Structure 1
Amino acid sequence: MFNRRLGLSRLMMRLRRIIRNDQLILSVLAVLVGVIAGIGVIFIREGIDFVQGLFLGGSSDKLINSLLNLPWWRILVVPTLGGLIVGLFVYYFIPGRKPCGVSKVIEASVFQGGRMNFRVGIGASIASIFSIGIGGSVGREGPAIHLGATIGAWFSEKLHLTRSLSRALLGCGTAAAVAASFNAPIAGALFAHEVIVGHFAMSAFAPIVISSVVGTIVSRIYFGDAPAFEITQQSLASLWEFPAVVGLGIAGGIVAIIFMRTTMASEDLIKKLPGPHWIRPCIGGFLLGLIALAFPHVLGVGYEATDMALNAQLPLYLLISLLFMKILATSICIGSGFGGGVFTPSLMVGAMLGGAYGIIATSIFPDLSSGPGVYTTVGMGAVAAAVLGAPISTTLIIFELTDDYPLTIAVMVGVVISSIIAQQFLGKSFFNWQLERAGLDLKSGFETTLLRSIKVKSITNNDAETVSVSASLEELRNKLQFSEMGELFVIHENGELFGTIVLADLSDIAFDHNVDDLVNAGDIARINPPVLDQDDDLENAKKVMQDSGEHFIAVVENHETMKFIGVLNETDMMTAYNQALVQARHEEHEGAP
């Protein structure tokens, strides 16, 4: 196994030597990533259908009728025992003991320089397949995106690509996964730029588009050229409907906030429950089963129920009920640790909201309304955009699904308003919330990444002025008088740091030669000064400088030996950071028109 991995790594490096142009190799890799990510989407979809057929008797798009024919105990037992299996698998086989999704890809892009754990990516996909297969009320697109990005990160690691190229490959995997999932190549490319990469430089745009198209082709070869949702041709009947669309956008923003806050509360509540970590999905599965006894539509990704809403096949009471039950079911599943995302659940919640809103609007203004179907489509976009923090790509997904420009304009209005509402009153998307829960701040993410990428030892000044512990007062006077730093570092004979001395420490005895033979450096030195390990990064160095107020920090081999290496100057630290910033921006925008 080791020899096989070594041979593969050598093959990757040989490819890197043959193709030296970064844009060319990125384009070649974009094709490979697109193909593999597309196959990954097929694997996830078929895996979910297999598990669902085994335990619940139906596939994702034909699940509800199967559930209605199952005995009640099976609807309750399958999610409960399935949740137990998911919990044990995640606990023992996934590093970090938590299934991941889009937020992990964003973290890799912003904080990890495009690197991801391959084992976590594969494990999260398996956990998600089983989670959804046993009825988990979560989406399959998040795991697909995570898997696609993991594939891109694997190529980056094997070829030792730069940070900017690695982030571009993350975007390639993401774009291919979204495009293959929704049969929407334009939306796939834009989602990768909008959510993962964060810029539209040509150096990243071209390969991401390539991957998105390739992923779509792979999906269409296997599944055919069918849209993700069956939406009948619909258009706005009149421009007078736009005030109603504005109202739906406001409602969509409010529902998105309720969705996210309910998920936050669910996770907080479940964390407080006694018992081991792996039992939580079992508890979540039991609660999910209780909901499904009355509302089986909440089980699984929700494609079938969403299609029914889009085609006006659900009554008003059921639309309103499923709106809140789907939010509750998804919140329980996400909070308890099921593998999966919120992409499809947010679309279903939006469809239920839009469908109910459309029925009410049509009953009040029948002559002005184009029917509930239009509002269902707008509701899908409004809620999903606010939850995902991706208004552009969500709008494009709807456009590619409907191929209706006037309807897309209405979706844009709803999306913009709902996104503004969510940002104004919550301030973040679902993915940003997950990152904040992990202690990561996207606003300072780029700066943090750069600071973490620079090690203290790379900019340490090894010519710092030192004196021994036994150095005389006269020697201290002479050295400090001509010291560029105005500071001396006192060390033992074995090289261990003892303390520091500045000119102010000699103020009382600077001109008192009567004590020259009575006082040495060890008597005057400030002991236990702030220090940095040579392997620390500049993020930690910045914190130490801020906390201590010092402009020069001693650098040691490690905190055990305390062997003095040199000194870190605040000016050198800022210079290194600025150089890294310029280089990173150059790499990101290289090739841009």
Structure 2
Amino acid sequence: MSAWAAETLPRLAARQPALWLLALLIGIIVGHAAVAFYLGLTLLERHVLRIGAFGASDLPWLLILAVPALGGLGVGLLLQFAVPEKRPLGIPDLIAARAVGNGQVGPRGAILNALLALLALGTGASAGREGPVAHLGGGLASIWSGLLGLSPNASRTLLGAGVAAAVSASFNAPIAGVLFALEVVLRHYALRAFGPIVVASAAGALVARMYLGEYPAFVIPSYDLVQSTEYLAIFALGLVCTLVAAGFIHLVKLCERLASELDPPLWLRPAIGGALVGLIARAVPQVLGVGYGVADAALKEEFGWGLLAGLLLAKILATAITLASRLASGVFSPSLVMGASAGGLFGLLLGELFPGAVTSPGFYAIIGMGAVSAAVLGAPISTALIAFELTLNYETAIALLLAVSVSTVMTRSLLGHSFFLWQLERRGIDVREGLHLTHLQRVRVHDFMRPVDTPPALTEGMPVLTRSDTLGRAFTLLEEGGRDAIPVTTIGEEARIVGIVTYADALRAYNRALVESDIEANR
């Protein structure tokens, strides 16, 4: 690329009309990728485990045990030898790319992660397809950001566009795709980002409808509340869903801690998880796979007390094991199954206590589905819209918003974080308190250091920084001893001073990052 092109193309691509065109292209590409993922997964589910609404109960028990374990072994070998991160990737990695990265995720890693997810989910892992597909959308969008040398701001906008297109195509839910990208990944609603993300989401949905049709994921009857006092029951269901979501997140933490203490070889860890999921499926075969057919059956009131209760407990346990064993990473689909089971049970109980005075259990299954998934993801607005667009049942909208609000607020009060934010905190990334903390992790010393022509000698015991250290570390070292400046050195045995960082330099870099992020979030 010529010097003129290298300087001009990023500037042209960052302008709004060009971003809209890029977003349209990304939406079309990601829409096709999401459809391909869906068709590939459907093919595997139908021909490997023959998963349906009632699970894989027609398969020999030995296959139900062996197939998830063998799939886990394949995932483990790929994690060991082909995946640098040594774990499946998902929504938290997109949030991290926005918060402390340059707004891009590696396309190669995203494509490989999608193949890992196909292998895991197609052989029975109890997880969701939306996380891997959203990460794939972000990776495909990042190809264009990298090729055109876009600024971090423009790259983050296109990252959101890729995520929106992936969610939109996966759920046939273009409105929810837009709000998910803004609420969960970008965490702002700036008009500059809104337009391209809408374009990409609409394009992704149109591509999916072209191949898969315009029908909602769940076709259910229309419901009307029998009486307005049922809103008290819906409030109570929100509290029940809080317990389900919080219990699930706690169990994932417990399984993660247990897996870390046992510390099996990485290549074997997913296989152990797959074997345990297979054992659970011997008793409750409905836990295998993504679970859309199971959720649909729960919404249509095809399950009784015993099966709903067993499914709720088994799905929570199987999904926690799947995540802790690094077999797969998606949590949205399992949370739909958990919520539909909890809501269906709640509706059956109300029907027994107040026969003829409450709406049918299928209505409460819809509400539970949205409330649990919103509490787990920490995304009340987009999750409520996803549940609405999945069912196209407007009569449930007000009830759904009430239950979602209760479950999300109460889960945040109990745990202090959503599932995604907990995963980020384990990696040392805190986005709960706002951008002023993420800038301390995003800005690097090489962004604001002063080069030195004649470096002084490096004395033993002198505190030093490297080019890749964060702004937060620079502030820590500067403030520890009340220092005015700290040298920046190369890495290695023969380290030498290449620059210097003063407290004023660090403060200016921090203020500049705050101003730039404020402009990005409000323009």
SS class of match (2:486):
strand
What's the CA shift for 1:566? 5.5
- CA root-mean-square deviation: 2.5
Structure 1 distance, partners of 2:329, 2:468, is 37
Structure 2 distance, partners of 1:210, 1:407, is 28
Tell me the residue number matched to 1:330.
Answer: 319
Tell me the residue number matched to 2:110.
Answer: 121
Tell me the residue number matched to 1:455.
Answer: 445
Mapping for residues 161-560 of structure 1, pairs under 5 Å:
161-443=150-432, 446-447=435-436, 449-451=438-440, 452-456=442-446, 458-460=448-450, 462=452, 495-498=456-459, 528-533=461-466, 536-556=469-489, 560=493
Higher relative contact order (CA 8 A, sep 6+): 2
What's the CA shift for 1:449? 4.8
Contact 1:30 1:210 (C-alpha < 8 Å) held by counterparts: yes
Post-superposition CA distance 1:15-66 (Å, at most 9, x none): 93694561112101111111111111112111212222332135xxx3636x
Post-superposition CA distance 1:117-169 (Å, at most 9, x none): 22221111001001010011110111111101111122111111111111111
Contact 1:79 1:286 (C-alpha < 8 Å) held by counterparts: yes
Tell me the residue number matched to 2:121.
Answer: 132
1:584 pairs with one of 505, 517, 521: 517
Post-superposition CA distance 1:221-240 (Å, at most 9, x none): 00001112222222222211
What's the CA shift for 1:287? 1.0
Q: 1:57 to 1:407 in 2, by over 3 A?
A: closer
TM-score by length of 1: 0.83
Post-superposition CA distance 1:227-272 (Å, at most 9, x none): 1222222222221111110110000011100111111111221222
1:455 aligned partner, one-letter code = V
What's the CA shift for 1:440? 1.6
What's the CA shift for 1:93? 1.3
Q: Find out whether 1:75 has 2:8 as its counterpart.
A: no
What's the CA shift for 1:274? 4.8
Stretch moving more, 535-544 or 187-196: 535-544
Contact 1:33 1:173 (C-alpha < 8 Å) held by counterparts: yes
Q: Find out whether 1:572 has 2:505 as its counterpart.
A: yes
Tell me the residue number matched to 2:32.
Answer: 39
SS class of match (2:219):
coil
SS class of match (1:568):
strand
Which structure 1 residue ranges, 5 or more long, are not aligned? Answer: 1-5, 467-490, 499-526
Contact 1:233 1:402 (C-alpha < 8 Å) held by counterparts: no
Q: 1:457 to 1:51 in 2, by over 3 A?
A: closer
Structure 2 distance, partners of 1:177, 1:342, is 15
What's the CA shift for 1:584? 3.1
What's the CA shift for 1:181? 1.1
Post-superposition CA distance 1:450-483 (Å, at most 9, x none): 44434357442759xx9xxxxxxxxxxxxxxxxx
2:507 aligned partner, one-letter code = M
Q: 1:455 to 1:248 in 2, by over 3 A?
A: same
Structure 1 distance, partners of 2:144, 2:493, is 38
Q: 1:457 to 1:557 in 2, by over 3 A?
A: farther
Tell me the residue number matched to 2:50.
Answer: 57
SS class of match (1:64):
coil
Q: Greater CA radius of gyration, 1 or 2?
A: 1
Q: 1:357 to 1:206 in 2, by over 3 A?
A: same
Q: 1:364 to 1:448 in 2, by over 3 A?
A: closer
Stretch moving more, 408-417 or 19-28: 19-28
Which structure 2 residue ranges, 5 or more long, are not aligned? Answer: none
